[in-house]
Amino acid sequence: MSESIDPVDRLLATARGDAAADPFRVTGVMMQYYHACERELWFASRQLEIDRENPAVVRGTRVDETAYGGRESKQLGMIAIDLLEDGRVVEVKPSSKLVEPARMQLAYYLWYLDRVAGVQRDGVLAHPRERERETVELTDDLAERVEDAIRGIHDLVTEESPPPAEEKPFCEACAYHDFCWC
């Protein structure tokens, strides 16, 4: 039955507690992986063994902890967010190779806050070491991209096999490197 329901509607029903029999969840990390490497997301969705010390797996967290004084994230359903003192949502851009994945992760947080909690916030994409900050607003266009990505994630994680490996600048540091290149 779930095949005919828009994954966005399924996700929203899950977030509101109305889809116990047929839940669909997307975390911020899933949104990031989807934009970094779809194959990586597929592996992660199968909960394959990964090395938690691998910088690819903790690439966002490490920067966050050191640069922002180890602030605790606030969990809201499927997402865990950090808020700046002025109420904006902050996401740390871990490296120049992962700007777009981090931007879409942040966009997903803004979308989730708006659609699930009715809370409108702007976001800040920060690179602490470079002292750069980019403001991200949830425009209609960005919200549409988030919803397209949710549908794409749904299609990907329900595939029986992963998409083929395509070399990325961060493959060497990826937890799944050996599954792709050895």
- Distance CA(97)–CA(173), nearest Å, equals 12
Could you tell me the smallest distance in angstroms from the CB atom of residue 77 to ligand SF4?
27
* Residue 37 is a binding residue for ligand SF4 (CB under 6 A): yes
- Distance CA(11)–CA(120), nearest Å, equals 19
Residues 40-79 that bind ligand SF4 (CB under 6 A): 40
Label the pairing between strands 89-92 and 123-127: parallel
Could you tell me the smallest distance in angstroms from the CB atom of residue 56 to ligand SF4?
7
Could you tell me the smallest distance in angstroms from the CB atom of residue 162 to ligand SF4?
8
β partners of residue 46 = none
Tokens of 150: 């949710």
66 vs 163, beta carbon nearer ligand SF4:
163
CB distance 34 to 42 below 8 Å: no
| Cα distances (angstroms) measured from residue 101 to each of 10, 21, 121 | 23, 31, 19
* Residue 133 is a binding residue for ligand SF4 (CB under 6 A): no
Binds ligand SF4 (CB under 6 A): choice among 5, 83, 84, 165: 165
Tokens of 125: 């994409």
Binds ligand SF4 (CB under 6 A): choice among 25, 28, 39, 78: 39
104 vs 142, beta carbon nearer ligand SF4:
104
H or E, element range at 107: helix 99-112
List all residues 6 or more positions away from 77 whose beta carbon is below 8 Å from its beta carbon.
15, 112, 116
* Residue 145 is a binding residue for ligand SF4 (CB under 6 A): no
* Residue 156 is a binding residue for ligand SF4 (CB under 6 A): no
* Residue 25 is a binding residue for ligand SF4 (CB under 6 A): no
- Distance CA(163)–CA(179), nearest Å, equals 12
* Residue 99 is a binding residue for ligand SF4 (CB under 6 A): no
Judged by the rule CB under 6 A, the positions of this chain that interact with ligand SF4 are 37, 39-40, 165-166, 168, 170-171, 174, 176-177, 180
